[in-house]
Amino acid sequence: MSAESVPAAGGWYRVESGGAASTVRRTAERLGTQVGLTPNRVAELAIVTAELTSNLVKHAEEGMVLVRPVRVAGEAGVELVAVDSGPGMADLTVSARDGHSTTGTLGIGLGAIDRQATWYDAWSWRGRGTVSVVQVWAKDVPAPPMWAAGLTRPITGEQISGDGHAVRVVQGRHQVLVCDGLGHGSLAGAAADAALAAFRTAPVAPPAVVVRHLHQSMAHTRGAAVAVAELDPPARLLRYAGVGNITGVVLGPDGGRKHLVSLPGIAGHQRPVVREYDYAFPPDATLVMHSDGVVGRWRIEDYPGLTGRSPLVVAATLLRDAGVRRDDACVLVARSPV
> With contact defined as beta carbons under 8 Å apart, do 243 and 191 qualify?
no
Contact 229, 289 (CB under 8 A): yes
CA dihedral over 302, 307, 313, 316, signed as positive or negative: positive
| Tens-place pLDDT, residues 247-283 | 999 999 887 899 999 999 999 998 899 999 999 999 9
Q: Are 180 and 245 in contact (CB under 8 A)?
A: yes
**Mean per-residue pLDDT for 38-63?**
92
**Average pLDDT over every residue of 81-87:** 90
Q: What is the pTM of this model?
A: 0.92
The pLDDT score that the predictor gives to residue 94 is 45
Burial profile 39-76: b = 16 or more Cβ within 10 angstroms, e = fewer? eebbebbbbbbbbbbbbbeebbeebbbbbbbbeeeeeb
Give the orientation angle of helix 39-59 with respect to helix 109-116, to 10 degrees.
150
pLDDT at 209: 98
- Per-residue confidence at 58, pLDDT binned at 50, 70, 90? confident
Q: What's the rounded mean pLDDT across residues 295-317? A: 94
Domains annotated for the chain, with CATH where assigned, are 11-136 (3.30.565.10), 148-335 (3.60.40.10)
| Calpha distance 333→315 (Å, rounded) | 6
Question: pLDDT at residue 95 above 90?
Answer: no
Mean pLDDT in residue range 38-58:
93
Q: Tell me, what's the pLDDT at 100?
A: 44
pLDDT at position 92: 61
